Copies of this chain bind each other. A is one copy, B any other.
């Protein structure tokens, strides 16, 4: 029951807030000013937890990469003396967004084959392009570009499924973003691995080598029911329990996938995963477009998570996922962009907006999935799915300082009657001005702190020239 039904009345919220902020970390320690690393004074502070709250004249205090307090600005000035102070007079401060499903390196393939059915896109375009070009270098470069795009648009953590996770880890390290890297499993051979056993061996070796590195976690990532065998799924289930890893898998994305499973296995994919031991709290079910009421109840009952990828589901013609019903049932839902070859806008603000809009439109109910709910999915929902609900996803004392500031001074955000409404319905990733991960600034006033965007553009263009002719234009239908 993570996001639903919390703090329904105004009074209840006020009470929780009071307890929350007055019995804080530094109670009784206000006589001497405490030195800390960073104090941020925004116009608005939206902590996400507690839900539905917008704070004005508050500050965020950060020490050694952690949030130490969320408190009234006046108190902050009394209690703390900061090595760095950031005053953001026209900005909204919020937790960094969690992109719960992507294939980051595919930013190098954005727009390579649009307006095509999913299977033709995958079998005739994406997999051949990957077979030809994917390498350690491709994954490093593509992931680095994706990390920078995500950081600049307010994403501080992403959940990846791709090849050469050790190359992705390098890019994550260089960019300073946080990531859960998928240990991908597929049955057939590719540039990265020969067969399922080889995928397992390589994934486990990477996990063994890199576990415990800062800002890095892992998921087991069996690709999909149609590309992974029963034997491999069983092994995934065993490893997930042994290693305490979430299981990140595409499931019930299209009607074809379900029909094929019924034909080959006599059961629907989710039932097959259930029998193989994967339908449990560590499951991160990506897409989940086609679900019956019993399947929704099953996901809720076992505390599984769903990744809603609205743009990708529309673009591939997969359909419209039953988001309102999933939330109603109490399923934890996060949001994902999917890979940039499935969604050319790599902007989680756009997914947040589309998630809310699409739920309203498909339910014909304007009250379905309001702005606060959409924001919670894009932050704490994603964090909980990754098993990082105590670490990130909200601005709460004790959590990592993964923070994003949105500049509300732009003409398209003026006037502002309700900042959270603007955040979801009006803001895009382009409005993000500052981003911190683990308390370290990665974007300041829209400029990358450590990396050279021009060099990254040249890198992207170079890959483009290598992969395919540019500017071909596509014929009308």
Q: Does A149 contact B (CB under 8 A)?
A: yes
Chain B residues whose CB sits within 8 angstroms of the CB of A379 once the complex forms: none
Which B residues are in CB contact (< 8 Å) with A417? 110-112, 464, 467-470, 472
From residue 331 to 388 of chain A, which have CB atoms closer than 8 A to chain B?
343-346, 353-354, 357-358, 360-368, 370-373
A-B contact pairs, 29 of them (CB 8 A): A8-B476, A8-B477, A13-B475, A112-B417, A114-B371, A114-B418, A115-B370, A115-B421, A116-B366, A117-B367, A118-B366, A311-B357, A315-B357, A315-B360, A315-B366, A315-B425, A316-B366, A317-B361, A317-B366, A370-B476, A370-B477, A372-B476, A373-B477, A414-B460, A416-B470, A417-B464, A417-B470, A419-B473, A420-B473
Other-chain residue from B112, B365, B426 in contact with A317 (beta carbon distance below 8 A): B365
Partner of A474, one of B358, B366, B418: B418
Verify if A215 is at the interface (C-beta below 8 Å from B).
no
The 6 closest A-B pairs by CB, nearest first: A415-B464, A54-B473, A314-B361, A52-B476, A317-B366, A344-B426
Contact B149 A425 (CB under 8 A): no
One of B360, B409, B426, B465 near A111 (C-beta < 8 A)? B426
Task: Classify chain A: how many residues form its interface, as a range.
Answer: 35 or more
In the bound assembly, the distance between CA atoms of A415 and B106 in angstroms comes to: 11
Are B411 and A456 in contact, with the CB atoms below 8 A? yes
Q: Is the CB of A346 within 8 A of B418?
A: no
Q: Does A403 sit within 8 A of B, measured CB to CB?
A: no
Check A476 against B373 for contact (C-beta < 8 Å): yes
* Cross-chain contact of A314 among B44, B360, B414, B422 (Cβ < 8 A): B360
Known pairs A317-B360, A360-B317, A425-B344; A412 contacts B149 (CB<8 A): yes
User: Within 8 Å of chain B (Cβ to Cβ): is A219?
Assistant: no
> CB-CB < 8 A to A56: which residues of B?
471
Q: Does A220 contact B (CB under 8 A)?
A: no
- Closest-by-CB residue of B relative to A419 is B471
A148 interfacial by beta-carbon distance below 8 Å: yes
| Contact mask for chain A residues 440-477; partner B; CB cutoff 8 A; 1 contact, 0 none | 00000000000001001100110111011111111111
On whether the beta carbons of A52 and B475 are closer than 8 Å, the reply is yes
Q: Does A6 sit at the interface, judged by CB under 8 A?
A: yes
Is A296 part of the contact surface with B, judged by Cβ < 8 Å? Answer: no
* Of listed A346, A365, A372, A456, residue having the most chain B CB within 10 A: A372
* Contact residues in B for A13 (Cβ distance below 8 Å): 475
Say yes or no for A428: interface residue by CB 8 A criterion: yes
Q: Which residues of chain B are near A115, meaning CB under 8 Å?
A: 366-367, 370-371, 421
- Shortest C-beta distance, A15 to chain B (Å), equals 14
Instruction: Tell me if A116 and B367 are in contact (CB < 8 A).
Output: yes
Chain B residues whose CB sits within 8 angstroms of the CB of A317 once the complex forms: 360-361, 363-368
Residues on B with C-beta less than 8 A from A425 are 111, 114, 315, 343-345
Point out the residues of chain B lying under 8 angstroms from A59, CB to CB.
none
Beta-carbon contacts of A202-220 to B below 8 Å, as 1s and 0s?
0000000000000000000
Q: Is residue A80 contacting chain B, with contact meaning CB distance below 8 A?
A: no
A412, A426, A457, A473 interface centre (most CB from chain B within 10 Å): A412
Minimum CB–CB distance for A213 against chain B, Å: 26
Q: How far is the CA of A114 from the CA of B116 in the complex (A)?
A: 35
Extra inter-chain contacts (9) besides given A311-B357, A317-B361, CB under 8 Å: A114-B371, A114-B425, A115-B367, A115-B370, A370-B476, A411-B457, A414-B460, A415-B470, A418-B471
